[in-house]
Structure 1
Amino acid sequence: MSNNPIRRVRAKGDAFSIGFALGKASASGFRERAVKHCSTTRDWNVGVGSERFRVLNERWRGSDYLKTLESAARAAYPRYMREIEGMAAGLEQDFQTVFIWNCMTDLMLPEDVSPAVRDAAGLGCTSIQMPAEGDGPAIIAHNEDGPAEFLGACLWVEVEPDEGPAWSSFMTPGSLPGETFGLNDAGLVQTINHIVPNDQQPGVPRQIICRAILDARGVDEAVEILQRKDRASGYHHNLGEATMRRLVSVEAPASGCVVREVVSPRAHANHLLCREFAVLKQTIIPDSRDRQEAADRMIAEGGLSGGAEAVLFDETSHIYKSQHPDSRTLATSVFALFPDRVEWRVHTAPDERDVLSGTMRVV
């Protein structure tokens, strides 16, 4: 039996019903592995993800700044806020707890927080993009890294909403889908890499933005969302559009958005690479820099001849994380984009391949 099972969950209906179903499905993982608590809200379990939440919960719960984020999200995307409300009900948590959990990187950490907590978010996720050759597919592949305690607690969710395209996404406990990797039946694929620029501002939380992109009908529509000026923080987005076998790489911190068409194989870890952001202060931890340099080197040396997994399963540079004390590779996804479909597969380990797979036909 796998040490890292990923349960497949289906949901349909209105926004609240979808959120409730996903919250209920991830409730035990959220309680036991994400923000496990005992008798009081201050008695959270040790672990950098939970410790980060504890610190932010104490600092920002009930604050005017948090209310500003909520107001911005409700004004821009009320339907996704209903999903969070439904998720909170399914998780059996109050709304503010779940909203803070989904806003952790939109909220500033106190100056005296430990380096381990401050750097933890930058420890994970590496993506590969490979343009189509001849009649072959374009490829987006991704390592989703996260807290080690999330192993075995994540979901693959397949959703048919009353409005918008059908979509599927990897989901970590308590988090709105979209901020990991996923696709929709318009043929749009998205994978996400965390970045750590110092430019948070009041606005729409970035996980709401990621969820909005799951409803986009193509890359251009997704880029329009990422060009909003009212984003609270941002990610790096790998986007693909099956109908055109088009790939783009988008670095989108709160203060800007740079789009690069992908014309040759490339990798991205957890820091901004575009020269347009050279003057933007950001945190680049050694783990991210090492993974980026190693992936770039392997690509230059022809390492992708054996497929994206040849790079993503490399452990010598911690691109694939199996032993790190705070961060593990929770899943590796590979999306092959054809004009009429996306063929996808998910590995839970180098020796546990294709534990989930399927084909999403373009509608």
Structure 2
Amino acid sequence: MSGNPIRRLRAKGDAFSVGFVIGQATASSFRERVFRENVFVSELNQILNTRWRGSDYLKSLESASRAAYPRYVREIEGIAAGAGQDFETVFLLHCMAELMLPEGVSQAVENSAAAGCTSLLIPAEGDGPAVIAHNEDGEREFLGACLWVEVEPDEGPAWSSFMTPGMLPGQTFGLNEAGLVQTINNIRPNDLKPGVPREIISRAILSAKGLDEAIEILKRKDRASGYHHNLGEAKTGRLVSVEAPASGCVVREVASPRAHANHLLFGEFDGLEQTISVSSRNRQEAADRMIAEGALAEGAEAVLFDETTPIYANGSDQTLATSVFALFPDRVEWRVHAAPDERDTFSGTIRVV
């Protein structure tokens, strides 16, 4: 039996209906894994409720979200209803990055806030595909509680995404039938401001009809915080690395293999204060070294499954899944590994529409 079962879920319909199906599927995990077993989220939820529930600032984040992307707020409403939670509880969790933590939080909360992921961007060579590969890292409590969701929405392209309980898909890794692939890395710059939460921005990209549209979403001036986004487009073979904190957006076309962990790397942000964890720095250095030494000749997994640094997390933070997307002009072939010894838990092909 798998040590990290990942369930496959299918949903279709309008935004609320899709959210409701997702909420129902994660209801028990949401109650047990998020609020009971998960020290980080349990403590954080108490902090969020005490300091931010009903606050004008939270209302401003909700208003900005509804003005920019009402459809994805509607999905959150569906998730809350399906999971048997009130909307504000679920919306608070979607605003964790935007609601600053007070001094004196526990080490468990501080460590988890610093947790992140590792992504690889590998341009095409010859007739081969471009590749985006990714380790999705998170709390150990989420092992066995995550989903691979495949959605046929009433509007926009069909899309698929890995997701953790109770959260909008998009903030992990996913793709759509326009041939757009996205993987996400956490960053921790000190530039928060009122606006649209990054979870909603990431969800919006899953419904983009191409790479240029996705980049325009990330260039919005009304983002409240941000992520690092790895984006690829099948039909053109373009790969871009996008650092998008609230205060700016820098897009790099990728011409040679590169890695990205959980801190800003681009010189344009040298003056922006950020928190860089030891893990992020070590994973970045190790991945860069392995790429330079030719490890990718054995596939992206040769880097992402490294347990010496480790790049593959197996401790208080855990790699929840590893994904590899191969982008051809007419299709994206993808596979998801539950663990190094549990490969190809899911795999498939999306034809570019």
Q: Any conservation in 2 of the 1:251–1:259 contact (CA below 8 Å)?
A: yes
Partners of 1:111 and 1:361 in 2: how far apart?
49
Aligned to 1:33: 33
Could you tell me which of 46, 60, 66 is aligned with 1:68?
60
Partners of 2:8 and 2:108 in 1: how far apart?
32
User: Are 2:232 and 1:240 equivalent residues in the alignment?
Assistant: yes
List aligned pairs for 1:62-141, cutoff 5 A.
62-141=54-133
Could you tell me which of 163, 168, 192 is aligned with 1:200?
192
Instruction: Give me the TM-score of the superposition, normalised by structure 1.
Output: 0.96
Partners of 1:168 and 1:248 in 2: how far apart?
20
User: Are 2:343 and 1:356 equivalent residues in the alignment?
Assistant: no
Q: Once the 2 structures are TM-superposed, how far is the Cα of residue 120 of structure 1 from its aligned partner?
A: 1.6
Q: Any conservation in 2 of the 1:227–1:256 contact (CA below 8 Å)?
A: yes
Aligned to 1:334: 324
Could you tell me which of 297, 300, 319 is aligned with 2:292?
300
Secondary structure, aligned partner of 1:105:
coil
User: Are 2:167 and 1:189 equivalent residues in the alignment?
Assistant: no
Aligned to 2:212: 220
Q: Once the 2 structures are TM-superposed, how far is the Cα of residue 28 of structure 1 from its aligned partner?
A: 0.9
Partners of 1:113 and 1:34 in 2: how far apart?
18
Partners of 2:135 and 2:51 in 1: how far apart?
31
Partners of 1:262 and 1:122 in 2: how far apart?
26
Q: Any conservation in 2 of the 1:49–1:147 contact (CA below 8 Å)?
A: no
Aligned to 1:3: 3
Q: Percent identity?
A: 75
Q: Once the 2 structures are TM-superposed, how far is the Cα of residue 56 of structure 1 from its aligned partner?
A: 2.0
Partners of 2:113 and 2:210 in 1: how far apart?
29
Give unpaired runs (5+ residues) of structure 2. none
Aligned to 1:40: none
Partners of 2:45 and 2:240 in 1: how far apart?
32
User: Are 2:7 and 1:17 equivalent residues in the alignment?
Assistant: no
Q: Once the 2 structures are TM-superposed, how far is the Cα of residue 46 of structure 1 from its aligned partner?
A: 5.4
Partners of 2:195 and 2:236 in 1: how far apart?
32
Runs ≥4 in structure 1, deviation > 4 angstroms? none
Q: 1:299 is aligned with what amino acid?
A: I
Instruction: Give me the TM-score of the superposition, normalised by structure 2.
Output: 0.98
Q: Once the 2 structures are TM-superposed, how far is the Cα of residue 318 of structure 1 from its aligned partner?
A: 2.0
Aligned to 2:162: 170
After superposition, the CA RMSD in angstroms is 0.9
Q: Give the count of matched residue pairs.
A: 353
Partners of 2:50 and 2:5 in 1: how far apart?
33
Partners of 1:48 and 1:21 in 2: how far apart?
26
Partners of 1:56 and 1:96 in 2: how far apart?
11
Q: Once the 2 structures are TM-superposed, how far is the Cα of residue 112 of structure 1 from its aligned partner?
A: 2.2
Between 1:286-295 and 1:119-128, the stretch displaced more is 119-128
Partners of 1:59 and 1:267 in 2: how far apart?
37
Q: Any conservation in 1 of the 2:15–2:74 contact (CA below 8 Å)?
A: yes
Q: Once the 2 structures are TM-superposed, how far is the Cα of residue 218 of structure 1 from its aligned partner?
A: 1.2
User: Are 2:137 and 1:152 equivalent residues in the alignment?
Assistant: no
Deviations 1:67-124 (A, max 9, x none): 0000000000001011000110001000000001111111111122234412323222
Secondary structure, aligned partner of 1:104:
coil
Partners of 2:258 and 2:42 in 1: how far apart?
33
